[in-house]
Structure 1
Amino acid sequence: MKQGTIVFLNGTSSSGKTSISNELLNHNEFAFHHVSIDDFFKRLFGDYIDFINTTCASAESADRKAEQVPNDILIDPLVELFFSTVKFMSAKGMNVVVDTVNDSDERLNACLRLLSDHPVLFVGVTCSKEELMRREKLRGDREIGLAISQYDNVYRLHEYDLELNTETLRSDECANLIVDFLRSNREYTAFQKLSHRSVGVS
């Protein structure tokens, strides 16, 4: 069975990934399935995360290193499951649009390890820090400054098959450029190049 194409949108929160994903779903030429990390956590693990937050609400961390323990124990394995789900869907021949934030070495390297043997179109979704702040204020459902806190880690990568600036391009224009790339049958090389080197934050 032919593996489905994975369109991986790399960008911070509020950079425009979900809007582009929604536009791709409207294209008839390619049947896409949108897999969002936000939906993955809320729909599949919302009750579980609520249970953990409620049960452990009174527990206080002894130091800052201890505060990272819940993330290492709970969140990182769920992120791996997210990428494993994307891999499974591609293996079943489904075209997948991935909407997540890779803001740590652990997440990015898990992604590279799991998906490097699948066809991944790696797309950089960018805009200025000023625009990210403006969008956060308009949205009202994101902590102001979240995107800026992710910015340096998310955009430390400079290897893309396609780069899209959502400050100068509308979501439908971005989606059309992605479809044009897929239609051209050009080779996807960025993800493979990243997977053959150690990724870390300097």
Structure 2
Amino acid sequence: MGKGMIIVLNGVSSSGKSTLAKEITKLLPDFFTFSIDDYDLVIEKMEDRDNQRLIPIETEYFYYRNVAMFSDRGINVILDQILHDPITLQNFYETLNSYPILLVGVHCPVEELERREQSRGDRQIGQAISQLSFVHQQEIYDVEFNTATQSITECAREIVDRLESDTPLLGFKKSLEEFASSKVLSKNNN
């Protein structure tokens, strides 16, 4: 049994990842959405956050290992998540370095992010903008979208077309190489 394909939707909060993931599953019914927000609900149920009784390991550590387990069993997944800090990147690259990955950058202009945060009412205002200082700064994507100028249907269709093309998926591999070389550089500078 081959490994399941992993479509990674990376973008700041309110950029359109969840909506895009749902649209992709309409076109690719053998893919399943696996959201970090949903996974965090599992962790939250295990913890007692009111009393600061917390699992002392970042959620992403477990999340990416679960992704690997699904892929190992031939399950195709769409990750709705944010590569938001160095620890998350390290967990992402170390855990999934041997898996088939389509790395997708989901972008949205600041003004639209602010509007979406306001209209949704379930987001901390300014969260998306604060994430922009890290998100998209080091990734090399196979496909990138601006969800304010492209329809979600267009974006999903382009992802399907990319998966069906003969062009190799190199975004994750190139990003991993950049990450590894930057870690070596930062160790040598210390």
Q: Is TM > 0.5 for Structure 1 vs Structure 2? A: yes
Asked if 1:89 is matched to 2:70, the reply is: yes
AA in 2 matched with 1:46: E
CA distance in 1 between counterparts of 2:14 and 2:146 reads 12
Q: Secondary structure at the match of 1:26?
A: helix
Q: Which has the higher contact order (CA 8 A, sep 6+)?
A: 1
Q: Is the partner of 2:9 in helix, strand or coil?
A: strand
Residue among 81, 93, 96 paired with 1:115: 96
Q: Name the counterpart of 1:171.
A: 152
State how far apart, in whole Å, the 1-side matches of 2:125 and 2:161 are.
35
The equivalent residue for 1:48 is: 46
When the two chains are superposed, the root-mean-square deviation of aligned CA atoms in Å is: 1.8
User: How far off is 1:120 after superposition?
Assistant: 0.4
Alignment of 1:59-74 (within 5 A): 73-74=56-57
**What amino acid is aligned across from residue 149 of structure 1 in structure 2?**
S
Shift in Å, 1:15: 0.4
Q: CA–CA distance in 2 between the matches of 1:85 and 1:103?
A: 19
- Could you tell me the percent identity over the aligned residues? 36
- In structure 1, how many angstroms separate the alpha carbons of the residues matched to 2:139 and 2:75? 27
- Give how far 1:101 is off: 1.1
Aligned equivalent of 1:134: 115
Question: What displacement does 1:102 show?
Answer: 1.3
- TM-score, normalising length from structure 1? 0.84
* 1:183 corresponds to which of 164, 168, 171: 164
Over 3 Å counting, the alpha-carbon distance change for 1:118 and 1:158 in structure 2 is: closer
Report how far residue 121 of structure 1 moved: 0.3
Number of residue equivalences: 182
Contact between 2:7 and 2:104, CA under 8 Å: does it hold in 1?
yes
Cα displacement (A) at 1:158? 4.5
DSSP 3-state at the match of 1:124: strand
User: Quick one: distance in 2 between partners of 1:176 and 1:148?
Assistant: 27
1:125 aligns with 2:100: no
Question: What do residues 110-153 of structure 1 show as CA deviations (whole Å, max 9, x unaligned)?
Answer: 10111110010000000111110010001000010000010120
Deviation of 1:45 after TM superposition, in Å, equals: 2.2
Match of 2:79 in 1: 98
Partners of 2:163 and 2:92 lie apart in 1 by: 21
Distance in 1, matches of 2:52 and 2:141, equals 41
Query: For the structure 1 residues 141 and 193, does the alpha-carbon distance in structure 2 shift closer, same or farther, using more than 3 Å as the test?
Result: same
Name the TM-score, length of structure 2 as normaliser.
0.89
TM superposition shift of 1:99:
0.7
- Measured after TM superposition, the shift of residue 11 of structure 1 is 0.3
Q: 2:16 is matched by which residue type in structure 1?
A: G
